[in-house]
Structure 1
Amino acid sequence: MSSLLRRLPPLAALCLGGGAIITIIGFTAYALNYAALNMIGFFYGIPLLLGGVALKITELRPVPLTIPTTSEVEALKATQATDTQKQIFDDLTRYRYGQEAHLDSALKFLGLAPTDDDRPTIIGIREENIDGAYAMILEFDSPFITLEMWQKKIEKMTSFFGPNVRVDVTQPANERVDLSIIAVPAVTAPV
């Protein structure tokens, strides 16, 4: 179901397009004196068009995959990914409405966004095999939050994104931080 939703146009575009068409039909019907059709444009088209504009203003685009996921990593994801990892991936790779930034409330809770202006921004996501485990790497532009600050929050991030994950933080470039959420399969006791 989620892959089908990713292939559909964003909700804002659907509302804008549908609202524009219905509004044009309504105004054309009004000009041609078709009373039944002109009401459609006024009562349905204009509100739908305005709703589309409102959605477009609050639209948050999906985070791009920086490296295509391989079939090996897909297999690991199917068997090892935690519910939290799946939810984060789904949330980041679809259109969102009414949020200022991806994971804004999570970053605030973790103490990594003291203000909206200082909040790190997710610029990419990728999935990898790290030592035989499924890993989701969130790539942040983090000019105001230092690597040391990120590292101080590893324990809190591990419990926040857990259970059954470990968190690693690296800095591949200046003002850039990669947050790796790595699956740690639960060990079952022998029966």
Structure 2
Amino acid sequence: MKDLFSPGNLITVAGGVLTVVGAVAYGTGNANLSLPTIFYGIPILLGGLALKSSELPPAKRVVPANTFKAQREAAAPELGKLLADVTRWRYGQKAHLESSLEALKLWDDDTPPQLLEIEELNGADGYGLRLRFELGAVSLERWTEKQERLGRFFAKGLHADLQDLGGDRIDLRLLQAAAPAAGQHGGQ
């Protein structure tokens, strides 16, 4: 149902309705109605079809939006921005997080990794996100090589955990980095 209300669909339907109304008005001799509806309807219809051709639907959200609202607001703001970015319609991109994956050198132009779903987590480590990717042409070894950098890339104080799901899929968990225990200092 959510797919029916994409901006591309809404604009295409609006343009189609205006074009049909204009054509019917022209056929019945109602020039006052046919002229504006055809002249506005056809460009709107073409614009909607152009949007549909470059549309990238939002990643599937596993947990309802209001479930972890308080934890999301208390967590690093970058996690909330990441969540908002991948759960909206995108246009003109091959995959969600395209520029981030390119910067991390986890990108392939022909078969890029695809974000399938995102889940908010709230456990002993605090608030975090789980992103499920289909690897595409990027190998699991490349993801593993970048694992340490993945957490720091998205927000300061995050730790990335990769889990191989087999079948060309992985889970990337972005969690709060464990704080040093009381009395412990780095290098001692």
Contact 1:138 1:179 in 2 (8 A): yes
Find the residue that maps to 2:5 and give its secondary structure. coil
Checking the alignment, whether the CA contact within 8 Å between 1:166 and 1:181 is kept in structure 2 is: yes
Taking only the aligned residue pairs, the percentage that are identical comes to: 34
Q: Does residue 110 of the first structure (1) align with residue 110 of the second (2)?
A: no
1:65 and 2:58 matched: no
Per the normalisation by structure 2, the TM-score is 0.83
Q: Describe how 1:1-191 pairs up with structure 2 within 5 A.
A: 9-68=5-64, 71=67, 73-80=68-75, 82-113=76-107, 115-184=108-177
Tell me which stretches of 4 or more aligned residues in structure 1 moved more than 6 Å.
Answer: none
C-alpha RMSD of matched pairs (Å): 2.6
What SS does structure 2 have at the residue aligned with 1:101? Answer: coil
Distance 1:45 1:171 in 2: 49
Question: Which deviates more from structure 2 when the two are superposed, residues 9-18 or residues 43-52?
Answer: 9-18
Change (3 A) 1:10 1:185: farther
The answer to whether the 8 A contact 1:143-1:175 is kept is yes
Opposite residue 57 of structure 1, the aligned amino acid is: S
Aligned pair count? 179
Deviations 1:47-99 (A, max 9, x none): 0000010011111111112355784x44322322x222111111111111111
In structure 1, runs of 5+ residues without a counterpart are 1-5
SS at match of 1:117: coil
Relative distance call for 1:185 and 1:84 in structure 2 (3 A) is farther
**CA spacing shift, 1:76–1:18, aligned 2, 3 Å:** same
Give 2:183's aligned residue: none
Higher relative contact order (CA 8 A, sep 6+): 1
Q: SS in structure 2 opposite 1:134?
A: strand
- Contact kept, 8 Å, 1:120 with 1:143, in 2: the verdict is yes
TM-score by length of 1: 0.82
For 2:13 and 2:145, the matched residues in 1 are separated by 47
| Aligned residues of 1:22 and 1:41 also touching (Cα < 8 A) | yes
